[in-house]
Structure 1
């Protein structure tokens, strides 16, 4: 590490972090295709799945909140929320904190749909095998979280 900048990552580690980025892109795209292949079961696109999962994890949210949480444009989140609402998976409700920005919340059908998707995804993830340890997964999460924080200031809209 550089003596002038203790936060500087050495070259070899930088190269390894590049490998992480090189894997994350294809991993994301393959996961996206898998969700879309299974979409006929619930009829969920990747975008609608993302909205439903955010609401499942965090409760009612506004479109801007969801956009920030997922680094997605507000317009995209609005379209996905509208798609989900047309299918009865979410509903728009009054937001006591902001008159012009409705809260979006899951309906019973939405909760059922996202739970079914999550159950199927967990079944696939169980096939990873037993050679990964909790410590390795924790380290992976720590690295990915650090990289995400590094890029937090990238504009979405």
Structure 2
């Protein structure tokens, strides 16, 4: 294997592990607010602006079907609602309700504590550099997906 292949494999395995770690953390933060990590993810995407399911899926990197199932559950539980979309008659917008936004707000204090703890372990500068590196990696994978020449 080449060095590039080793790096791609290491990046993927690390991302898979990180995904599991972040999901575990998200579940532990969301549970006391009566949410799951998936519910929090979808509600968080529409916290400030209602979006169609397809836009939430693109932003979150998950399937449209998974977002649709989650949105349906959130609507059934009164945590979100569907609104008419002026740009597209059939693609309704998902918006958080007062109950959904209150649940998200309830996560805030524990979220802040965990963020502070992680920043304390990494140091704020290294934490920011890690986030920047993850964003660059994600953008490069997007470019690769589009058939571009990821640098």
Normalising by structure 1, report the TM-score. Answer: 0.77
Between Structure 1 and Structure 2, how many residues are aligned?
143
CA displacement at 1:149 relative to structure 2: 1.0
Q: Secondary structure at the match of 1:151?
A: helix
Indicate conservation of the 8 Å contact 2:119/2:127, yes or no.
no
Q: How has the CA–CA distance of structure 1 residues 76 and 131 changed in structure 2, closer, same or farther, with 3 Å as cutoff?
A: closer
5 Å matches for 1:34-53? Answer: 34-53=25-44
Take 1:135 and 1:126, find their aligned partners in 2: how far apart are those partners?
A: 13
In structure 1, runs of 5+ residues without a counterpart are: 1-10
Aligned CA RMSD, in angstroms, stands at: 2.5
Take 2:33 and 2:100, find their aligned partners in 1: how far apart are those partners?
A: 10
Whose radius of gyration is greater, 1 or 2?
1
CA displacement at 1:14 relative to structure 2: 7.5
5 Å matches for 1:71-150? Answer: 71-128=61-118, 130=120, 132-150=122-140
Take 2:15 and 2:129, find their aligned partners in 1: how far apart are those partners?
A: 15
Name the counterpart of 2:149. Answer: none
Indicate conservation of the 8 Å contact 2:29/2:111, yes or no.
no
> C-alpha offsets along residues 124-144 of structure 1, whole Å, 9 cap, x if unaligned?
221225364443233222211
Take 1:39 and 1:131, find their aligned partners in 2: how far apart are those partners?
A: 22
Name the counterpart of 1:62. Answer: 52
Normalising by structure 2, report the TM-score. Answer: 0.80
Q: How has the CA–CA distance of structure 1 residues 148 and 91 changed in structure 2, closer, same or farther, with 3 Å as cutoff?
A: same
In structure 2, runs of 5+ residues without a counterpart are: 147-151
Of 12, 23, 26, which residue of structure 1 is paired with 2:17?
26
